[in-house]
A and B are shown apart, each in its own frame.
Chain A
Amino acid sequence: MPMTWIPPLGLLFVMAGPATAIASGRDDPCAPGKSVYGPSFVVPLEIAQGVTLGRGSPAPYAASIRLYPSYVLDRRRQVRIALAGGMALVNPQLEALVGGRLSTSVFELNLGPIRGVGLHLGLEGLYGTSDRGLLGLMLIGDLGGAFQGTIRTERDFTNSATLLELGLGFHVHDGSTPETAPVLPTPPHDYLGLVAQGMARDFKAAIGTSRRESVTACRALLLAAQAFVQPHPPDITTVVAFRHALTEAGLEQVETLMFDPDPAPAGVTEVQVVQALYRGMADVLEIPPRP
């Protein structure tokens, strides 16, 4: 394998790590409310031209056309991972390019529900068919989720040259469709399921309330809740004791907002009710229920 492939392939390997982590993660519930509308898949097409600089640059003019099928991993932060493919005229050879790009939003202005202006920082690794390895850093301006402008610097490891390019593009596919059915949990119909659902509602309500106070207060609440749900104190067997334990754990806000479960039907013990309350909180925190 030519040495020039190593930087872009290395970059793709490095990109896979954070991308996987972000994809498996979830939105920060304490982050200030921000639009999370938007497509999960977009395909920008970009035409760019510029110059090559450095000792391996017999011809200064460079141009390229690139397509970026992009999957949006995290809509709140607009983290996108894309395949990159296209044609480039460099030094002064025409060749095909293939690789990948990872980008994230550094600035976003949304006009309510209308997509406004965004600025993204991107990192790109490409392989050219003439054994060229390219590693690029770019700023991408996004207008209304429809048009984009790019300023890019790219290191050509084959020719020890640097490319500077300006690009203009538009979204060939803007992800507006299809409007798919939402995936929702199955509603509980049994008593204990309803108890867990009610506790989840009240716990989420406490998170929503604390978030209005401050992000710090919200994060403190979540940390206290995680500590509260993880251990398994065997002495908490009644709803009253559960309420008391919430207060002891610094979760007064949850205790205040919590509704007592409706009276249990015959055959359901209070210990089971308490376990359902714990399960409701664990569901919100997306941690496994206590044994």
Chain B
Amino acid sequence: MARRQDLIDHLKNVPLFSRCTGRELRIVARHAEPVRLPAGSVLFSEGDQGDAFFVVLGGSADVRKGKGGRRVNTLGPGDWFGELALLDAAPRSASVVAVDQLEVAVLGARIFRTLLRELPSISERLLAALAGELRDARRYQDV
């Protein structure tokens, strides 16, 4: 139970879950698997089939793209990744590698989709985040 509460405490500080009620957070925590990975672990590679969604709870990870593995972003506590390949069933668009010891909460593809369907507070936040990114992408295009 203590472990579950610990996970809830971490999750409620993640922006994606900020609008969740206590009950909704307990639901997410019930299905999320907290996993610790050593530095250098490749969580998935570009082109892989997606099977999970991740929320960073501790440590950091690099997002790498392309042949040389160009670093495009670094993720830290509160960040999430891995949802695109689950939303459109297309291959992973980038690789994610743990920079140091990494703690993530992992949600399987199926339960992730179920949670999006059943908990609008999460899907709205996710849509808002995606919309923000779309806006940013267009702004870069315009520039």
Real binding pair: no
Binding site for B on A (CB under 8 A): none
